[in-house]
């Protein structure tokens, strides 16, 4: 029912909402995230609200309705299941699948998604470690520690890589900094804004805080 554009807005708004802990999302932020001019975001959000996907308050921001939430989760699910498919079945690298998933998520019907999901053994995280909403719309993003908060000098496993920039993912792949990998935090220096890791037989590296906060472990 929603157009491809609206689907993208819904997913985006949902994600931004998540990221800010359920806060109402400003038009500036929507515009930024969608790569459009603020006026466009305003107009689109208003029409999305019109259709009952969201509540919009002028000069405050937007928040998805129950219905909007369900829709957003369905789209997110499609995106992430497809990412698993691209890696697990088609053999792509986890660093270069985002774009394709971004287009396919709007073309895959429920029945096709079901089969793909089965073919992938009903995964519950995608190749970046991001949780996959269930077919019924359940979605628990159980809170994890980032490399900035986790215990030191203990073997821990990478859970998610939040940052999506291809360059960074490439780098992470190279260093074996991938979801599921075991590492150890050697040292953490808040003043220097740096975290030093010991990678599984790949020496050690030091990351800045910005990046360290975008990698979660468990």
128 binds, among DNA, Mn ion, a second copy, none (CB under 5 to 8 A by kind): Mn ion
Supply the minimum distance, in Å, between the C-beta of residue 113 and a second copy: 10
43 binds DNA (CB under 7 A): yes
126 binds Mn ion (CB under 5 A): yes
By the 8 A CB rule, do 83 and 101 touch? yes
95 binds DNA (CB under 7 A): no
Q: How far apart, in whole angstroms, are the C-alpha atoms of residue 107 and residue 125? A: 21
User: Considering only residues 60, 67, 115, 157, which one is a binding residue for a second copy as defined by CB under 8 A?
Assistant: 115
**Site track 1-30 with DNA (rule: CB under 7 A), x = hit:** --xxxx-------------------xxxx-
User: Considering only residues 25, 33, 75, 86, which one is a binding residue for a second copy as defined by CB under 8 A?
Assistant: 86
Q: How far apart, in whole angstroms, are the C-alpha atoms of residue 31 and residue 9? A: 10
- Taking the chain, what is the end-to-end CA distance rounded to the nearest angstrom? 38
Supply the minimum distance, in Å, between the C-beta of residue 9 and DNA: 7
10 Å Cβ neighbour count for 102?
14
125 binds, among Mn ion, a second copy, DNA, none (CB under 5 to 8 A by kind): none
In the 8-state DSSP scheme, what is residue 188?
Answer: E
Beta strands in the chain (DSSP E): 54-57, 61-64, 145-146, 155-161, 182-189, 194-199, 204-208, 215-217
Return residues touching a second copy (CB under 8 A).
86, 89-92, 99-100, 103-104, 106-109, 111-112, 115-116, 119
């Amino acid at each position: 029912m929603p157009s491809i554009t609206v689907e993208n807005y819904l997913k985006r708004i949902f994600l931004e909402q998540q990221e800010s802990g359920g806060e109402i999302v400003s038009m500036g932020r929507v515009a930024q995230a969608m790569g459009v001019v603020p006026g466009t975001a305003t107009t689109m959000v208003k029409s999305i609200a019109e259709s009952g996907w969201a509540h919009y308050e002028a000069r405050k921001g937007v928040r998805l309705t129950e219905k909007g939430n369900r829709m957003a989760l369905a789209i997110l699910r499609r995106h992430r299941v497809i990412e698993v498919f691209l890696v697990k079945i088609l053999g792509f690298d986890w660093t270069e699948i985002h774009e394709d998933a971004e287009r396919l998520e709007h073309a895959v019907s429920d029945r096709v998604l079901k089969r793909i999901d089965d073919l992938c053994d009903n995964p519950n995280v995608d190749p970046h470690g991001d949780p996959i909403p269930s077919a019924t719309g359940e979605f628990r993003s159980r809170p994890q520690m980032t490399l900035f908060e986790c215990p030191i000098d203990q073997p821990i496993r990478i859970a998610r890589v939040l940052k999506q920039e291809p360059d960074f993912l490439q780098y992470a792949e190279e260093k074996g900094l991938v979801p599921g990998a075991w590492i150890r935090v050697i040292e953490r220096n808040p003043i220097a804004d740096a975290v030093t890791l010991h990678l599984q037989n790949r020496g050690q590296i030091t990351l800045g805080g910005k990046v360290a906060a975008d990698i979660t472990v468990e």
